[in-house]
Amino acid sequence: MIVTVTLNPAVDKIYWVDSLRVGRVVEEEFLTRATRSSTSAGGKGVNMSVFLSQLGMENVAMGFIGGFAGHVVARDLRDKGVTTNFVWTRGETRTNAVVLEEGQSRILIFLGEPGPTVDGDDVKRFVRRYRRMLSSASWVVLAGSLPPGVDASLYRDLATMAREAGVKVVLSAGGDALERGLEAGPFIVKPDTREERLLGGKSLATRDAIVAAGRHIVNRGQAEIVIVSHEVTGDVIVSRDAAWEIRSSVPVSDLKNLVGADDAFLAGTLFGLAHGESMESALRFGLAAGMVTAESEGKIRGDRGRIEAKMKQVTVDRIS
């Protein structure tokens, strides 16, 4: 079983517009009408749980939720067949807004709220539940931002508990949460580079820089595998033994909605590894999963038949 931890989940509200108009002076006021919209449970680990459930993989989604928006998250996940074990907290689960302009859908306008403040008692309740879940888990995913009030060291502590229980850890975060989480030596690290392209204080601006930063992390024993998004249709992977660049030949013009595509990639890779596939095979399945999601207007598409067909458009090249 896989446990996904999304400490700061969200309601994702996506709006499609024909043209986004923005006023430039005080006297201007424009109304942009959405042609359609969608509402769903969101957050990196939550998205991964949805994908895994669509492929029939047993998993449990954990984290903090609260208020009316928290009920929206819980109900949406139940409707999609995801088992949940959230801690209810004071305050209102955050809402993230995404605007997709027709003809420019691959370029996201993303507004993310900070989320509700979580107090120490709620953290203690969560940790008690998390420890119990570890007895049944084979993998744990720690993903996304931390809500206000939660110490940046929590991912490190959760990863340490998992490793002590013999459970492999996937860490997908950014900033201080990532840096502190690396101290526990997770199995897979995928930096969240949406705010800053850094890993271990090193730039991730180019492919060579990614390889150097990844090797720095694995050589220090801070991870077994580092995965970094390099381009919209490609990623770079670094392990102790090798480095690879994985690419898809899907034209960028075919991409309709990138929301959740990166999470589908990581979930697809984890799905392959959990079923005993080689790293190369799991990565090919993962990138194909990300592309299938990105080519769909819906947020997450765990269609195994389409993913396996899409794998023919994925290549994995060893970096010398």
Residue ranges per structural domain of the chain: 2-7+42-93+118-318
Residue 105 has pLDDT above 80, yes or no: no
Predicted confidence at residue 24, as pLDDT, reads 66
Question: What topology is assigned to 2-7+42-93+118-318 in CATH?
Answer: UDP-N-acetylmuramoyl-L-alanine:D-glutamate ligase (3.40.1190)
Q: Which of 181 and 109 is assigned the larger pLDDT?
A: 181
Hey, what amino acid is at 310? K
Predicted confidence at residue 200, as pLDDT, reads 79
The answer to whether 207 touches 186, Cβ cutoff 8 Å, is no
Mean pLDDT, the chain, integer = 92
At 29, the pLDDT band (50, 70, 90 cuts) reads low
Predicted confidence at residue 23, as pLDDT, reads 65
Predicted confidence at residue 102, as pLDDT, reads 79
The answer to whether 192 touches 179, Cβ cutoff 8 Å, is no
Predicted confidence at residue 106, as pLDDT, reads 61
Task: Please name the residues in contact with 268: beta carbons below 8 A apart, sequence gap of 6 or more.
Answer: 51, 282, 285, 286, 287, 288, 289, 290, 307
Structure token digits, residue 159: 């990863």
State how far the Cα of 212 lies from the Cα of 214, in Å rounded to an integer: 5
At 266, the pLDDT band (50, 70, 90 cuts) reads very high
**Per-residue pLDDT tens over the stretch 170-210:** 999 999 999 999 999 999 999 988 777 878 788 888 888 99
The mean pLDDT of 22-29, rounded to a whole number, is: 64
At 27, the pLDDT band (50, 70, 90 cuts) reads low
